Amino acid sequence: MSLEAESRRTTLITASVLILLGLLLSAYSSHHPQLVKFGNFVVTGFERPVLGVLSYSFGGVSDVYDNYFSLLDVKKENTELQKKIGILAEQNSALQALKKENEQLAILLEFRKQRSLSGIAGNVIGYSGTALSRSVIVDRGWDADIEVGQAVVAGNALIGQVIAVGSGNSTVLLIDDAASGVDVFSEDGRFRGVVKGRGHGLMELAYVPAGTTLTIGEQLFTSGLDGNFPKGLLLGYIKNITTTDKQQMFVSAEVEAALNLNNLEIVYLINNKK
């Protein structure tokens, strides 16, 4: 037998013996863990003091790795959360809009029940461009039996009347338009007058007989005498008394609309015929 072959045979026998020894050691150490603990102490014991010192210098490096990988996760999580926030914000604004619409419709419904007025609700789909022409466009037209002259309310207050009707939409002249005039009376019925538009949500109370005492904050309601508007619709409040001269025939006052006429969304077109 050659030296090489002899060497191989010896190696194989040695390896077999060592493998057997390893298996026996495994079996023994599974029941006697103190052997492993002792071995671990012998192998790693000498390095522990040095590791303790080095950990101060290398600990930072390890932290950098850990933090880096954590940051990668955080970045990913952040992106996902940002997306979720975007979706939730969108849903939230949609719900807010629905809530607002629901509130407005509830007010209109209540108004309709209380006043027994028939009509149809509509959405404001456009505004007139200038302050001189104060009108809005509503998504109801002749196909919804809308006619010129119909009173239009929002909430529980008058906002104007229909001046033009088209297919699927109509134009509503707001009460603060310069061409608008509404016959009104005070909340206690002491006086009557006409409210004329001046733009920007402001109106003027005119033709109130001299000697009438006006009170700031007093509510004004439609009288129904002009034939266009049902009686008793809230129009606005006296904001400022402008003429107090008793020598003149009439007194006048500045009137503020009960609603913000620049922020209309849902309106109710009253059928004057019924």
Partner 1 sequence: MRYRSISIRNSVKFILSVLLAVYVQEILASLIFPVNMVPQLLLGWIVFLSFYWPRPQAVFLAFLIGLVVDFMVAKLAGPGAVMAVLIYLLLSTVSSRLYLEALFVKIVCGYSSVFLFVGGYKLLLSIFQGEEFSFNWNLQYGFVLTALLMPLIISILKKTLRPANSLI
82, amino acid identity: Q
Task: Rank residues 66 and 90 by Cβ distance to partner 1 and give the closer one.
Answer: 66
Q: Name the segment binding partner 1 (CB under 8 A); options: 11-19, 172-180, 234-242, 256-264.
A: 11-19
Q: Is 24 in the site for partner 1 (CB under 8 A)?
A: yes
The total number of residues written for the chain in this structure:
274
Determine whether 248 is exposed, middle or buried from the number of CB atoms within 10 Å of its CB (0-12, 13-18, 19+).
exposed
**What percent of the chain is helix, strand and coil (3-state, nearest 5)?**
40, 30, 30
Q: How big is the CA angle at 96 (ends 90 and 102), to the nearest 5 degrees? A: 140
Q: Name the segment binding partner 1 (CB under 8 A); options: 29-37, 98-106, 151-159, 253-261.
A: 29-37
Task: Rank residues 27 and 94 by Cβ distance to partner 1 and give the closer one.
Answer: 27
Task: Rank residues 65 and 105 by Cβ distance to partner 1 and give the closer one.
Answer: 65
188's CB contacts (< 8 A; 6+ apart) are none
Comparing C-alpha atoms, which of 162, 159, 181 is closest to residue 260?
159
Phi, psi of 79 (to 5 degrees): -60, -45
Q: Is 166 in the site for partner 1 (CB under 8 A)?
A: no
Tell me the number of residues near partner 1 by CB under 8 A: 39
Q: Is 81 in the site for partner 1 (CB under 8 A)?
A: no
Residue 74 exposure: Cα atoms within 13 Å on the Cβ side: 6
Q: Is 105 in the site for partner 1 (CB under 8 A)?
A: no
Comparing C-alpha atoms, which of 137, 143, 141, 106 is closest to residue 123?
137
Q: Is 86 in the site for partner 1 (CB under 8 A)?
A: no
Comparing C-alpha atoms, which of 254, 229, 235 is closest to residue 154?
235
Phi, psi of 49 (to 5 degrees): -60, -40
Shortest Cβ distance from residue 80 to partner 1 (Å)? 23
Task: Rank residues 17 and 210 by Cβ distance to partner 1 and give the closer one.
Answer: 17
Task: Rank residues 41 and 190 by Cβ distance to partner 1 and give the closer one.
Answer: 41
Shortest Cβ distance from residue 78 to partner 1 (Å)? 21
Residue 136, beta-bridge partner list: 127, 172
Task: Rank residues 40 and 93 by Cβ distance to partner 1 and give the closer one.
Answer: 40
**39 to 78: interface string for partner 1, x by CB under 8 A:** xx-xxx--x--xx--xx--xx-xx--xx--x---------
**Rule CB under 8 A: which residues touch partner 1?**
7-8, 10-12, 14-15, 18-19, 21-30, 35-37, 39-40, 42-44, 47, 50-51, 54-55, 58-59, 61-62, 65-66, 69
